[in-house]
Every structure is written in structure tokens, then in C-alpha cells.
Amino acid sequence: MTSFEDIEDLNGIRLSWNSFPTSRIEGTRLVVPIGAMYTPLKEINPPFPYEPTACKSCRAILNPYCQVDFRGRIWSCPFCLGRNPLPQHYADISPTQLPAELLQDFTTMEYILNRPLAPPPAFIFVVDTCLEDEELESLKGSLVVALSLLPQNALVGLVTFGTMVLFFFFIIGSNI
């Protein structure tokens, strides 16, 4: 069995819980709210040169947690429980010959889409400025490194809070 740290390293995401509650009652009993910490720009598997297979009802994407009926060529969405036909390019799918979307090593995937370009990526940094001088200098250095790794057209927000809350917005690569 794979450890939680291995899964986090593979996907670049950490959840406050390792699974979602399965009922409303179980959800009300959670002590810690459901949350996620995502590592942007994490190097993962190479992008796949085709469109993702989406659920007709909720637009969730085919993934290893979906149930697949190989005979009927149908997959069930784990979010809305909708049944969806598999696309034509999965004609040779079988329990022994699965597409990457259904493998446990591909729980996070990137696709190369044949659509118009999406808006630029946005990043918001939330920073507590109530720190010792040494920690604040270290934080500044970390932010400079993080900003240098962002794409040239990225939209960036910086929220700082200490005795006051301040918000700054800028575009990487602009002369603002």
C-alpha cells in the first residue's frame, strides 16, 4: 500500500483528511474542515495530447476512482453517480489494458487541449508579517524565488496581514 507522503509527492496536493465524508452525518462530525493545499507548477507526468473524458452531468473527469463497465463501455462518475459512455478512442479498453486516466499512478494529469487559450494563471500569496526580522528576511527570499518560477503572464495577488491587511495585485513581466 502506498503511503500518504508518496501520494502527496506524486500529486502535489495535501488534503486535511485523506478521504471525503461518505454521508452528511459523517460530514457534520468532522472536527477539522475539509481543505486542500496544492503545490502549483509541480512537475508531474508529461501532458497528454488529447481532451479529457468528462461526465455529462457534473463535468468531472474520468479518473482511477471511477467504476468502468468494460462490456457496456460505460463509466460511472464517483461525484454525481452518472453513467457515461466511453469515447471511441477507448475502443480497446479492458481490465488488463487501461488508459492512463484509470491507473493509480495518474491521479493527477495534464492535457494539451485543442481549445482557445485560457486566461493567464493566477496566484495569491497570503503572508503573515508578524514575524521576527530573521524570519521575515527568509520569507522575502522565498517569495522572490517563488515569483521567479511563475510564468511571464501570471496574475499575482499578495495579501499581507499584521496589524493591518493589505492587498496588492500585479502581473508578472509587466511594468506595473
Q: Quote the pTM value.
A: 0.54
Domain 44-115 CATH assignment equals 2.30.30.380: yes
Q: Which own/partner pairs from 90-99 qualify as long-range (CB within 8 Å, at least 24 positions apart)?
A: 90/53, 93/68, 94/70, 95/70
Domain boundaries, the chain: 4-38, 44-115, 122-171
User: Each residue of 50-83: pLDDT tens digit?
Assistant: 889 999 999 999 998 899 999 999 999 988 999 9
d(CA 152, CA 164): 30
pLDDT in tens, 14-53: 777 666 677 888 878 877 777 777 787 777 778 888 889 9
Q: For the chain, what percent of residues have pLDDT higher than 90? A: 29
pLDDT tens digits, 67-123: 999 999 999 998 899 999 999 888 888 999 999 899 888 888 888 888 777 788 899
The whole-number pLDDT of residue 39 equals: 81
Asked if residue 131 has pLDDT above 80, the reply is yes
